[in-house]
């Protein structure tokens, strides 16, 4: 049975920040072991996307991509995706390609 897939709580965020990092051109992934489940969060600062509409769009797209990849993801990890400055201009397919690349570089999905 696959581990539950959920969002990270504020109290768990520090654990992931102290984990490993993989950097892409527009997104950065921080991950750490998380016993018993797959947990995730997407972080978009006000400097990256000043409008809340844009920040929420990036987060929704990221969640949709992770949902699509959930069957391939290795269980027992917490994931934090940080969007960088040019991210609001990315198309869905570009975000998907970058997230997939980051996860495979971190050996969390098969290549």
CA gap 24, 28 in Å, rounded: 6
> Using one digit for the tens of pLDDT, what is the confidence trace for 58-105?
999 999 999 999 888 888 899 999 999 999 999 999 999 999 999 999
| Residue that is written with structure tokens 């797209």 in the block | 61
Q: Which architecture characterizes domain 5-105 according to CATH?
A: 2-Layer Sandwich (3.30)
Q: What is the DSSP-derived secondary structure letter of residue 22?
A: E
Q: What band does 2 get if pLDDT is binned at 50, 70 and 90?
A: low
In this predicted structure, what is the pLDDT of residue 89? 94
The number of beta carbons lying within 10 Å of the beta carbon of residue 63 is: 15
Global confidence as pTM: 0.91
- Predicted local distance difference test score (pLDDT) of residue 37: 83
Residue 4 above 80 pLDDT?
A: no
What is the model's pLDDT at position 94? 97
Q: Match 């490993």 to its residue by tokens.
A: 20
Q: How far apart are CA 64 and CA 53, in angstroms?
A: 16
Domain boundaries, the chain: 5-105
Q: What pLDDT, in 10s, does the model give residues 28-41?
A: 999 999 887 889 99
């Amino acid at each position: 049975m696959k581990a539950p897939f959920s969002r990270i709580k504020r109290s768990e965020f520090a654990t992931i920040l102290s984990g490993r990092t993989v950097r892409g051109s527009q997104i950065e992934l921080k991950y750490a072991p998380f016993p018993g489940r797959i947990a995730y969060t997407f972080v978009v600062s006000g400097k990256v996307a000043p409008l809340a509409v844009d920040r929420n769009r990036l987060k929704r797209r990221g969640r949709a991509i992770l949902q699509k990849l959930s069957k391939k993801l290795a269980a027992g990890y917490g994931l934090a995706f940080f969007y960088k400055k040019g991210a609001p201009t990315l198309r869905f397919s570009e975000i998907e390609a970058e997230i997939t690349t980051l996860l495979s570089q971190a050996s969390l999905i098969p290549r």
